[in-house]
Amino acid sequence: MHIITTISEMHDIVMDAHAERVGIGFVPTMGSLHGGHAELIKLSSMRHSLTVVSVFVNPLQFGPSEDFGSYPRNLDADVRMIRDHGGTHVFAPSAEEMYPQGFATSIHIEGIAKVLEGASRPGHFDGVATVVCKLFNTVMPTEAFFGQKDYQQTLVVRQMVADLAMPIAINVVPTVREPDGLAKSSRNAYLNVEERNRATSLFRALSGAKKFISNQVTPLQGRKTISRSEIEAEMLSALQDVRIEYAVAVDANTLESRDFYYSGEKIALLIAAFAGTTRLIDNIVTDIV
């Protein structure tokens, strides 16, 4: 297992790999790794003999009142987890290595980056895009792996990769959940027992709304029509004892909110809610058939 902390060392390794036509899989993370990250690493290592996992808590993507300072960090445990799931290289730079004195560039994304998480967390996606761009330029991957858990982030990354013609395949991996449905997250460690119980209502709300959609009857010779307000009401009724920031049914490709959705369309059900002081997000993407 190679642990790399500088961009120049990483460049030496990946340039050699490209010269030998070895594909590079890349899994960007903020560390505090769990079973969700493990799936991404496993998949990458099945597809590429060289898998780089970055561990970097990116200050640019946290707001001033968010948890940058208290975000869980444990590089030793992360390195073990990466090795056990087939990762070959860990890239764990310091903040100074990524953002040295005089760093002055930012990637700014409009459109899909402005709504939902983008509206709740101003500057968040610019911070994500800037670090992902720099990590891509450092690791030069053939294929990068992201979790569906952060659904809007996957759209933002795809937008950047398309707009800036980055020659990198983006692979989105299904959300890994606890047995009771709670999406695995590094931030789950903040939850006390009672908050942990309340947190399960996010998945209940999402799966209830998905069932609601599939139970709607398709009219004879017609297209199924489902009203957004009904789907969202279904979610709200299941979200108990959490403080809801948003619970929406939107077009899965554009994140646009429409009054009605029809057969053949793909919609994303997206929730952000607080259990105590911990902000949780989750989603399900579903086809209307």
Residue ranges in contact with ligand AMP by CB under 6 A: 29-30, 36-37, 39-40, 146-147, 149-150, 173, 175-176, 183-186
Which residues neighbour 162 within 8 Å (Cβ) at sequence distance 6 or greater?
Answer: none
Cα separation, 208 vs 218, in Å, equals: 19
Which residue lies nearer to ligand AMP by CB, 39 or 234? 39
Q: Closer CB to ligand AMP, residue 39 or residue 143?
A: 39
**Nearest approach, Cβ of 33 to ligand AMP (angstroms)?**
7
> Shortest gap between Cβ of 39 and ligand AMP (angstroms)?
6
Q: Taking CB positions, which residue lies at the least distance from ligand AMP?
A: 147
Task: Tell me the catalytic residues.
Answer: 37
Tokens coding 178 = 């606890």
CB of residue 258 vs ligand AMP: minimum separation in angstroms?
Answer: 26
Question: Smallest distance, Å, CB 219 to ligand AMP?
Answer: 37
Which of residues 48 and 232 has its CB atom nearest to ligand AMP in the complex?
48
Q: Which is nearer to ligand AMP, 171 or 216 (CB)?
A: 171
Task: State the minimum distance, in angstroms, from the CB of residue 146 to ligand AMP.
Answer: 4
Cα–Cα dist 124/96, whole Å:
20
What are the tokens at 183? Answer: 């999406």
Shorter beta-carbon distance to ligand AMP: residue 150 or 232: 150
